Structure 1
Amino acid sequence: MTTDALGTSPLTSLTQLSPTITGEQLLESLTPPAQFATASFDNYRPDADYPSQQEAVDALRAFSSAAGAAKGGGFLGFGRRKRQASGDEAQKLGVYLDGGFGVGKTHLLAALWHAASGRKLFGTFIEYTALVGALGYAKTVELLKGTALICIDEFELDDPGDTMMMTRLIGDLVGGGTRFAATSNTPPNALGEGRFAASDFLREIHAMSGNFRTLRIDGLDFRRRATTGAAVVTDAAGLTAAVESTRAAGGVATRDDFTAFVDHLATVHPSRYLKMVDGIDLIALDDVVQLHDQMQALRLVAFIDRAYDAEIPIVAAGVPLSEVFDEAMLGGGFRKKYLRSVSRMIALTAAAPSNRG
């Protein structure tokens, strides 16, 4: 059975956990999350109503093939010969997937990673910035040099310092032939929303924008196709039953007061949330309340991302998790993050065994 951070007692609460993680461990963890362990271009299911999905698959296959066929001087002979003026997009050193929530961007990014040969890394923007924070910039560049492909999921555009640091990192690595693929947070496709993400991305990485091809992927959020528009709510008795059922089956279930859990997140760096969810089968939260503090909300977003990657169902009582971010947050600069997190919380609460229809 999973034990707490000291290894002294069975894990029953997330507030028991204060994990640590080294730069080397972060580097080793840069692979696709478990739910995308078998992601491929073949098992991506494009929606026929949105041709851009199949077009993205075809373009990424070409991007992958072009990398595999490159010879000498790094990928595509970078530094030894210029690309032909034919404008062959597959020959670019980077590709950026632009689209709304739940259209399969991360699946396609993972499929590209699986298809690539040579040394390759896959991680979220925050994991790469945490790596630099843990190892220092110079050592990070030294360790990443010679990597064939670096995939960056959820490239953040709202922190100028971190964005420019990643721009510099990209610039320092492409000279050695490293290729990049990235996705970014965009709002759902509605009344033209989401069409600014690509230009924002290219502007922020202006030094390298000419090396990136943008692939727009339209579609509906698959997480909401089979669920209602709100996170599932249960009562205290339902939480108890779900926790006891999971533990009786030999699984690990945690149960926390929501406010205490959110407060505890402030004591753990977001780069360590990956280890907080390791080995957990069910998360139960009592007395969920709406948040009004932006830092608390952003920490919750980061944690939900890791829980979603690990496919951990959530049962919750109180305010629906889909309503946990207040109106000011949803109308502010981090709106994209909050809407993505809402989509994921709806999916995780629907995935709990007790909530399945």
Structure 2
Amino acid sequence: MTLDRTTTSPRLIDRAPELSGAEMAAQLVPPRQFSHATLDNYRPDSEFPSQAEAVDAVRGFLTSWKPSGGLFSRRKAAPPKPGIYLDGGFGVGKTHLLAALWHNAPGRKYFGTFIEYTALIGALGYRDAVQLLRGATLIAIDEFELDDPGDTMMMTRLLGELVESGSRIAATSNTPPNALGEGRFAASDFLREIQSLADRFRTLRIDGHDYRRRDVQGSARGYSDSELDGIPSQQPGVVTDDSFTEVLRHLATIHPSRYVKLVDGLDGVIWRDVSVIHSQTDALRLVAFVDRLYDAQVPIFSSGVPLDQVFAPEMMSGGYRKKYLRAISRMIALTIGQDQ
């Protein structure tokens, strides 16, 4: 029965996308769900004043592009800091604010996740990547990560060169809601890593609840295999149908920089027989892939272990816990969102 199904349904594992450096650069724009993000349509939670304060701070950062004082000004204002860093739990609207900033910034600008920038460097080489990005008015980095010292120091060097050439930098970090102290520590780590830029960044703490759970509580929705059989006829468009094990195996054959093309044109993915992941490498690949699914708002339909329980307990207490919590939050949204 499974063999007949998979031979008549498109499969994710049959996709083998290629992505050039130029195509990667063209993809450095906000995800489509933030294509209309503005500071006016950001909805601050009144219980957390830091959210409204962050909106004001971003507005202030934007005014730094406007000329002030004029030729006959009595005194020059202190030069604005070239960087702004939004630190806080996931789901508090940091990406929305970052996208709103990007939309309002003048000139040539780029928006991408930390992994997208490191992938660009990997594809083009460091020097060519610097040459491509040099002259941009704004480099927006979503989900800046400190997990890999090598990548972090490479980005440190890149940002240093770009700031020296006149670019401004805006970045976000992710912190789980129950680890706010860790969020402040992560921010100080980031600023320490960028050393010479540290005193030029303004760091803002944004508190709050994950907006994806403000109105909807609970676990990721699961299906029986018989229910999954009917999904392709109920969900319009292209819906791939694979076993979860095959998906993990296939992700290992594709560089994460190409995951954006892997989800291109999809209207849903079916994962059968989801099981708990014990391999850290598999887990991190899944996190990267879920990010791309979330950016493209591709629904997930799955059977087996609920997706909010897919990471083994020992992983949820390890160094990548923040990433796994973010992925869980997004998978819940992509499954529960089918009923919204």
TM-score greater than 0.5 by the shorter chain: yes
Match of 1:29 in 2: 27
Match of 2:73 in 1: none
Q: Distance in 2 between matches of 1:70 and 1:257?
A: 59
Match of 2:4 in 1: none
Residue 209 (structure 1) aligned to one of 182, 195, 198: 198
The structural deviation recorded for 1:16 is 0.6
Provide, for residues 117-149 of structure 1, a one-character-per-residue CA deviation record: whole Å limited to 9, x for no partner: 111100001111111111111111111111000
Match of 1:126 in 2: 115
Which amino acid letter does the alignment assign opposite residue 21 of structure 2?
Answer: G
Structure 2, gaps ≥5 residues long: 1-6, 71-75
The structural deviation recorded for 1:190 is 4.8
Instruction: Assess if the C-alpha contact under 8 Å between 1:188 and 1:194 holds in 2.
Output: no
Q: Distance in 2 between matches of 1:71 and 1:165?
A: 37
Query: 2:16 is paired with a residue of what secondary structure?
Result: coil
Match of 1:239 in 2: 228
Match of 2:321 in 1: 335
Q: Distance in 1 between matches of 2:265 and 2:69?
A: 42
Instruction: Assess if the C-alpha contact under 8 Å between 1:68 and 1:116 holds in 2.
Output: no
Match of 1:57 in 2: 55
Query: 2:106 is paired with a residue of what secondary structure?
Result: coil
The structural deviation recorded for 1:200 is 1.6
Residue 98 (structure 1) aligned to one of 87, 96, 106: 87
Which stretch of the first structure deviates more once superposed, 307-316 or 204-213? 204-213
Which amino acid letter does the alignment assign opposite residue 104 of structure 2?
Answer: A
Which amino acid letter does the alignment assign opposite residue 152 of structure 1?
Answer: I
Which amino acid letter does the alignment assign opposite residue 308 of structure 2?
Answer: S
Match of 2:41 in 1: 43
The structural deviation recorded for 1:228 is 2.5
Which stretch of the first structure deviates more once superposed, 100-109 or 199-208? 199-208
The structural deviation recorded for 1:204 is 1.7
Alignment of 1:111-260 (within 5 A): 111-190=100-179, 192-246=181-235, 249=236, 251-260=237-246
Which amino acid letter does the alignment assign opposite residue 293 of structure 1?
Answer: S
Which amino acid letter does the alignment assign opposite residue 290 of structure 2?
Answer: I
The CA RMSD over aligned residues, in Å, is: 2.0
Which amino acid letter does the alignment assign opposite residue 112 of structure 2?
Answer: G
Match of 1:351 in 2: 337
Query: 2:232 is paired with a residue of what secondary structure?
Result: helix
Normalised to the residue count of structure 2, the TM-score between the two structures is 0.93
Give the fraction of aligned pairs with identical amino acids, expressed as a percent. 60
Query: 1:121 is paired with a residue of what secondary structure?
Result: strand
Q: Distance in 1 between matches of 2:169 and 2:142?
A: 11
- Judged with a 3 Å threshold, the aligned counterparts in structure 2 of structure 1 residues 184 and 191 are, in CA distance, closer, same or farther, namely closer
Instruction: Assess if the C-alpha contact under 8 Å between 1:265 and 1:299 holds in 2.
Output: yes
Which stretch of the first structure deviates more once superposed, 61-70 or 303-312? 61-70
Q: How many residues align?
A: 330
- Judged with a 3 Å threshold, the aligned counterparts in structure 2 of structure 1 residues 114 and 191 are, in CA distance, closer, same or farther, namely closer
Q: Distance in 2 between matches of 1:27 and 1:191?
A: 33
Q: Distance in 1 between matches of 2:314 and 2:47?
A: 34
Structure 1, gaps ≥5 residues long: 1-8, 73-81
Instruction: Assess if the C-alpha contact under 8 Å between 1:103 and 1:218 holds in 2.
Output: yes
Which amino acid letter does the alignment assign opposite residue 67 of structure 2?
Answer: A
Instruction: Assess if the C-alpha contact under 8 Å between 1:44 and 1:107 holds in 2.
Output: yes
Which amino acid letter does the alignment assign opposite residue 213 of structure 2?
Answer: R
The structural deviation recorded for 1:68 is 3.2
Q: Distance in 2 between matches of 1:191 and 1:107?
A: 20
Residue 262 (structure 1) aligned to one of 243, 248, 251: 248
Match of 2:64 in 1: 66
Q: Distance in 1 between matches of 2:115 and 2:153?
A: 13
Match of 1:313 in 2: 299
Instruction: Assess if the C-alpha contact under 8 Å between 2:88 and 2:180 holds in 1.
Output: no
Which stretch of the first structure deviates more once superposed, 304-313 or 201-210? 201-210
Q: Distance in 1 between matches of 2:315 and 2:146?
A: 17
Query: 2:204 is paired with a residue of what secondary structure?
Result: strand
Normalised to the residue count of structure 1, the TM-score between the two structures is 0.89
Instruction: Assess if the C-alpha contact under 8 Å between 2:86 and 2:206 holds in 1.
Output: yes
